[in-house]
Amino acid sequence: MRIKIKLSVILGILCILGMIVFGNVYKPTEQTYLFKTVPKSIHTPIMKENVPQLSHATIESIFQKAKEGRIKDVPIIAGETKIDQLVSLWGKSNHSAETNNRTYSEYSEHHITIGYSDSIIYDIRSYHEELSQIHMKDILTIKGEPDEERYYKDEQYDQVILVYRIGESYDLKWVLPKPTESIPNPTVHHISLVSHQNVSDQDYLSQIETMTLDEKIGQMVIAGISGTEITTDTKELIQDYKVGGFIFYPKNLTTVEQTKKLINEIKAENASNDIPLFLSVDQEGGRINRLPGNLEKLPTNEEIGDIHDVELSYKIGVILGKQLTEFGMNLNFAPVLDTNSNPNNPVINNRSFGNNPDIVSELGIQTMKGIQSQNIISVVKHFPGHGDTSVDSHLELPIVDKHIQELHELELKPFIHAIRNGADVVMVAHILLTKIDSQYPASLSKNIMSDILREELNFDGVIITDDMTMDAIENNYELGDAAVQSIHAGSDILLVAHEYQNVVNTINSIKQVVKKGIITEERINESVTRILELKQNYTIDHQQINTIEIEKLNKLIRKTLP
């Protein structure tokens, strides 16, 4: 009888603990279903210790099953099983949420959330109790450094994701709370097994095959608009020329309500097109603030660099990301990664984090990560470095007389670190580097974009030019010729920020040389693939803005600033 009493007490305690644990794990949150992947970071090595036998066996078992696309006690294979097959086994889910043609469904009784697209399950996430016994050090001790480390952060979660490649077919992601001083060795929150062969990716590739040449070339242009309302010209750029996106300036964004109306009208006009638009702005903080509505001032990058506050730099990035989200935009031309080595520089100056490339790297990457954490695309600029120029490229063509070795010692450092830490887009500047390419500025140079940025630095993201209507280009080249040369040299997107006719001429010039075979359609496809993958990764959509809460943003700024 004593034994029975003791067992019943123990079972009762375990039951209560289980309710507490699973009550926390399965509380529905936006993060549960809309897990944003943020590019990798610099990994701080953790001291490795002996791993408990049970954890060791569990980790090895998880990796072994992942090779088959499986997770323990789940009767499905990532990338193969259809959602109807799972429903026939487990019934309908407790809760589902949809985003950009993807659905996430929770099966709390099985401790599983699955993601599927076009009926194929491509993401299996397990919150099984045994995972909470595994520590970060255990994973690193048994499997070594991950292939990639990423971060996710919102108002509720601050997480690190250890990504291990499983052959060519899967990614196994271990999601844990970000280590802190008080909890340096956190336990696993959940794991996620993602198939590379998900239907959404295949659909994008097949979509490229069915796109017209006009549609492809349009995706390679981000255009400016005139005025504060959607005009006939803007509608034509959307419907007839299929441009990939728009950039906005203060002249386009005068009040909060006017901006809301403009963005919503542009999104509505593009809703009949399958591919959503990049909606972009230069929102750097400091003196470069494009958004309306009496937003409280953010410090300049120079001021952040002076105090060398890494955490503040990240938080500023979060604020910039939230600002764009509030206004319905999705791409920010920030941060500036130029090392301001010339104090007389008329265009960079306090937009830079300073004259030390290591500090620029450290702080710039954190701002980039903060922006990305809000599902906003961050564009690092101005490659290969605008900090040692003495003229403004808006007015004339700057010349930098440095060898590649000198650039590696200073200008290139922040970009190299940003690329290693998940930069999605690099903006290339209109700068003539005579020792590398005496004929063309960086934005038109194969030596710079293809040989250095792509090949030497291994950048596989999207390359965008600085505005092609700046005087550095217009005073030296015919715009159409410059556009063609830039694409030939390796750029993916041309920024044509002013005048409808400039946009049209750019598109027509590219179309003409493709038809003549001077640039192949296969070369166009390479860029369009990168562009569509970027849009897909950030789940860009046509969703309308409901309200823009300036005071909410200002409260966050006041709370963040020292």
342-352: average pLDDT = 79
Is the pLDDT score of 508 beyond 90? yes
Question: Is residue 310 within 8 Å of residue 359, measured between CB atoms?
Answer: no
Query: pLDDT digit string (tens) for 393-402?
Result: 666 688 888 9
Residue 466 annotated among the catalytic residues of the structure: yes
pTM: 0.70
The model's confidence at residue 168, banded by pLDDT at 50, 70 and 90, is: confident
337-362: average pLDDT = 88
pLDDT at 6: 42
| HSE-up of residue 24 (Cα within 13 Å, Cβ side) | 11
Question: Is residue 117 within 8 Å of residue 130, measured between CB atoms?
Answer: no
Question: CA-to-CA distance for 245 and 266, rounded, in angstroms?
Answer: 10
pLDDT at 27: 34
Between 201 and 471, the more confident residue is: 471
Burial per residue of 536-554, b for 16 or more beta-carbon CB atoms within 10 angstroms, e otherwise: bebbbebeebeebebeebe
Among residues 350, 430, 436, the alpha carbon closest in space to that of 386 is found at 430
Is the pLDDT score of 106 beyond 70? yes
Which listed residue (466, 467, 492, 498) is catalytic? 466
The model's confidence at residue 99, banded by pLDDT at 50, 70 and 90, is: low
Is the pLDDT score of 102 beyond 80? no
Question: CA-to-CA distance for 211 and 411, rounded, in angstroms?
Answer: 39
Query: pLDDT digit string (tens) for 211-242?
Result: 999 999 999 999 999 999 999 999 999 999 99
The model's confidence at residue 483, banded by pLDDT at 50, 70 and 90, is: very high
Q: Ranked by mean pLDDT, which of 17-31, 89-103, 342-356, 439-453 comes out on top?
A: 439-453
Q: Where are the domains of the chain?
A: 23-202, 211-300+326-333+371-377+385-405+420-555
Q: What are phi and psi of 114, to 5 degrees?
A: -120, 150
pLDDT at 44: 42
Question: CA-to-CA distance for 66 and 139, rounded, in angstroms?
Answer: 15
Between 434 and 208, the more confident residue is: 434
Instruction: Classify 69 as helix, strand or coil.
Output: coil
Which listed residue (95, 196, 394, 488) is catalytic? 394
Fold of the 211-300+326-333+371-377+385-405+420-555 domain = TIM Barrel (3.20.20)
pLDDT at 539: 87
Of all residues in the chain, the percent with pLDDT exceeding 90 is 75
Query: pLDDT digit string (tens) for 457-472?
Result: 999 999 999 999 999 9
Query: pLDDT digit string (tens) for 382-430?
Result: 999 876 665 556 666 888 889 999 999 999 999 999 999 999 999 999 9
Residue 394 annotated among the catalytic residues of the structure: yes
pLDDT at 97: 86
| The one-letter amino acid at 366 | Q
Tokens describing residue 390: 């003495």
Between 560 and 155, the more confident residue is: 560
89-109: average pLDDT = 84
49-56 long-range contacts, CB within 8 A, separation 24+: 49/137, 49/141, 50/141, 51/137, 51/138, 51/141, 51/142, 52/133, 52/138, 54/133, 55/133, 55/134, 55/135, 55/138, 56/138, 56/142
Question: CA-to-CA distance for 201 and 138, rounded, in angstroms?
Answer: 33
pLDDT at 152: 77
3-20: average pLDDT = 41
pLDDT at 398: 84
For residue 379, the surrounding DSSP H or E stretch is strand 377-383
Residue 475 DSSP label: T
pLDDT at 36: 38
